[in-house]
Amino acid sequence: MLKSVRAVTILLMGMIPIPLASQIHYSNHFTREISRCQAEFIEPVEGLYKVKMMKRDEDLNYDLVLFSEEYDFEMRFVLEPKYHRTTPHVDFFTLTTSLALNHERPDIHMNLFEPEEAHTRFNAQWAAYADFIPKRSLTEKSYARLLSIYRQDCGLIHTLLLFNEHTDEKDRRLHSISFQNTLPE
């Protein structure tokens, strides 16, 4: 009797999906910085993304880098919980121009969210994104999108998306990080 119960249990366990097998294990540092920014990270659920280890970049010190071979897509996150300036737009513009290929065809398309939309989409007071061709020292990918979101007393968060083809993956991953629900008064 005990053997048949064990056999049934083993068979049933094989039918139940175990989500831990596909979860991304990111660092304690990233978890701590997300908390310090009072932000939420929406982890890709497909299990197609993996953590990528990177050396310190000349432009940014990334808190987390994820990549997907299936989508040929990379996401890099930079969290600045100690950001206390009131000029996220200046820092966003400076960072975008330093990451973009700046010769012959400096095609940079910047999009500033209206305050209501920044709040609705990211629980942010300010948000913008830019599409551009990244410089070769940054990546071998053909295209980049930089999203920056800001909330007073929470910080500035940058999400850099790198890809070779324009697919809806760049729009889905635009919302990977947002601030927690309430804005400070």
Geometric angle at alpha carbon 79, from 76 and 85, rounded to 5°: 130
Pairwise CA distance, residues 60 & 33, whole Å? 15
First to last CA, the chain: 64
Whole-number pLDDT of residue 118: 97
Give whole-number Cα distances, 40 to 5, 33, 137, 177, 179, in Å.
Answer: 42, 10, 30, 6, 6
Binning the chain into helix, strand and coil, the percentages to the nearest 5 are: 30, 30, 45
b (16+ CB within 10 A) / e for 35-47:
eebbbebeebeee
Whole-number pLDDT of residue 12: 40
Whole-number pLDDT of residue 25: 58
Banded pLDDT at 50 (limits 50, 70, 90): confident
Task: Average the pLDDT over each of 19-23, 98-102, 156-160 and give the range with the smallest value.
Answer: 19-23
Residue 116 has pLDDT above 80, yes or no: yes
Q: How many C-beta neighbours within 10 Å does residue 52 have? A: 14
**Does this model's pTM top 0.85?**
no
CATH T-level fold of 2-179: Protein Transport Mog1p; Chain A (3.40.1000)
User: SS3 for 155?
Assistant: strand
> Per-residue pLDDT tens for 25-35?
567 889 999 99
User: SS3 for 78?
Assistant: strand
User: Rounded mean pLDDT of 145-160?
Assistant: 97
Whole-number pLDDT of residue 47: 67
Residue 61 has pLDDT above 70, yes or no: yes
Residue 81 has pLDDT above 60, yes or no: yes
Q: Which helix (H) or strand (E) holds 61?
A: none
The proportion of the chain whose per-residue pLDDT surpasses 90, expressed as a percent, equals 56
Whole-number pLDDT of residue 120: 96
Banded pLDDT at 117 (limits 50, 70, 90): very high
